[in-house]
Chains A and B, each alone.
Chain A
Amino acid sequence: MAETVELTFESSGLLTTIQDQGRTGYSHLGVPSGGALDKAAARLANTLAGNDPGTPVLEITIQGPKVRFDGGPCIISITGADISPSLDQIPARLNAPLRVAPGQLLSFGKLRSGCRAYVAVSGTWQVDSWLGSSSAFLQDPTNILSKQLISKGQKLTISAPAGKIATPPAGISDVKGGLKPNQKVRVIPGPEYHQFSRQAIECFLKREHIASNDCSRMGIRIEAPLDGVHIEHGLISSAVVPGTVQVTQSGHCVLLLGDAQTTGGYHRIANVISADMDTLAQIKPGDSLRFDLLNIDQIRNI
């Protein structure tokens, strides 16, 4: 008979959610794609724990929870942001499979890099799903996914935990979430790019932008407005996707993430390329970023 592992959240952290690779294909009904914001980190965590890459994980934001493991032993792995994880007060390695014995406590400390960490646990997660995904949906219309937003005292059951341990690929232990020094976020022009003044475009591309405190799973708002934005009217509501950079009438840029609405009325100056979406997920309030403008043909093989 398969053993089970029971996780008990002695504290919830700032925002801890259950996420998988998201629910694509329902955006015509207003449902965001959602899922782990740093999808590569979530897949890596699962692979290291011996799971299918699309298995749910915990997405941990800036400040981590305290999680007690009971039941059988299991394999976990932690990827993405470095939030100083430890098992029973002993620092735990990132990007490596870790054996967890019954009764052990996983906790987190200081945020050293990135914004979002991912914890995979070997086995089958006993969680609800909706429209093909068990990802939390914070604007949950149905309330069936309310347990996907972790609260203090909550328990989570994972069955058949005896996963096979994957060997970490070479060099993977150095992979940490967040922008590397001098790394720019690559964008291509958005539908309204040419409607912006030369001054606004220069400001967008040359300035060092700061992520404001107004950051969530829906998007990142940039602190200072662009110069030279003269938008008189909003657009007739039209599609937006994760990565769309909207500019409000006041000139503020908002970079949309996985839980964003599917339509909006703001001008779309640019879109972040797919390959840089995971990097974007690791930007936290106060971080600075620069944009690098490419055209669609330059990114064919990225």
Chain B
Amino acid sequence: MPDRYVLAVDQGTTSTRSLVFDRGGRMVAVRQREHRQYFPKPGWVEHDPMEIWANTQRTAAQVLADLPGPGEVVAIGIANQRETTVVWDRATGRPVTRALVWQDTRTDDLVTELAARPDAGLVAERSGMAIAGYFSGPRLSWILDHVPRARERAERGELLFGTMETWLIWNLTGGPDGGVHVTDVTNASRTLLMDVRSCRWDPDLLAFFGIPAAMLPEIRPSVGVLGVATALSPALPIAGALGDQQAALFGQACFAPGEAKCTYGTGSFLLQNTGTELVHTRSGSISTVAYQLAGEPVHYALEGSIAVAGALVQWLRDGLGLISSAAEVETLARTVGDNGGCYVVPAFSGLLAPHWRGEARGLVAGLTSYVTKGHLARAVLEATGWQTRDVVQAMAADSGLSLPSLRVDGGMTTNNLLMQFVADALDVPVVRPMVGETVSLGAAYAAGLAVGVWSDVEALRRNWHRAAQWTPSPARARALTEEYPRWERAVELSIAWGAP
């Protein structure tokens, strides 16, 4: 039997990547194309959906042409930047405005207004998430309010809404000519418009945000055939779709309650599988949908988002010029044995989980003449470790699940000093898988599972191999637990500093 491959499209914030994986979960080909970032006003971030669609077609065609030897690509899976919002004309396929990206903060005022309404409690109760500009519902409201005639056209069914996977699936399956208008349940769960228990659009939430139901895509499981991508040659079944962080959880084979992954990139996203019961959160983590296999119940996850992780190292490089490449932060940090009493809280634009304090601002605490750039580099790395501990503690309080180990991926996992610090700060082993491309691997797994490339999630588990492990040192773990209140105090100060 010839080899069977799965194509994954990773539609990310800065680029669109098409990758092909074999049955062993190994990447055999990759193509990538960046798209333009539009910053029309301070705090506004936009993408051109047409450019992203063109990049998807192009990279997919290229990667299919790259394939070595005999073999057949049998399905396509999509992972996408979450919460980025597109509205387009059903008849022409043209977006009515550029996509509002998840980093865009233009809805802050709208969200403040909405949150002050007496019925605002409905949002958290039904959607499982606190009302925040981070999610796509308020962005959709903004577009309907600001694009001329948008709301009346949407009510007449002339306009369609989607996050990036919806936009790409609609185009891949024919666009104006019979395109399938669907979203997956993980992406739908990030709109604030979905009832997180029934996984259906909630009429009361739609009324709250003023969204016409006619423009919404059908909510479908993450794993299951969504349509046929006739825009590709050969035409392939689109058999999986997930938001990027959920895709990484899937790619890391975190299928059992308690299993968790953390992606260390510009920011950090920690997701812990909590099983088929929704966890009611009180401690600052978010309850979100992890994935759903067709015909099976929804699996939920707790999520902790850290806004600034690798971005702090970039600041050390570009803002301060203390290092010439991100990796050199480890070299600089290793010139000293500890942080010299120095703490850096990277609240560049507030703090996300578990604090959710938009007013917080960054600070360097504990400066003395003893502190060198080496101590500062160490404090920069430790900030990511401490923030991971903040999030893990909040999740443990919410779910009552202990963390057996933390599976990590992303660029910062080549930093041994940081990974060891995370292991010591959490007092659990930190493990890195052999395939670092967990987002696209998760999309490939979802699609391959739906069409039978893999028989079940246990087959996916067997593909997961450890590439490295950092084991906590009991003495260091004790010392860091004693030190943790210093970090918490620095966080309090950063919140106080930003208070009006």
* A and B together in one complex: no
* A positions within 8 Å CB-CB of B: none
* B positions within 8 Å CB-CB of A: none
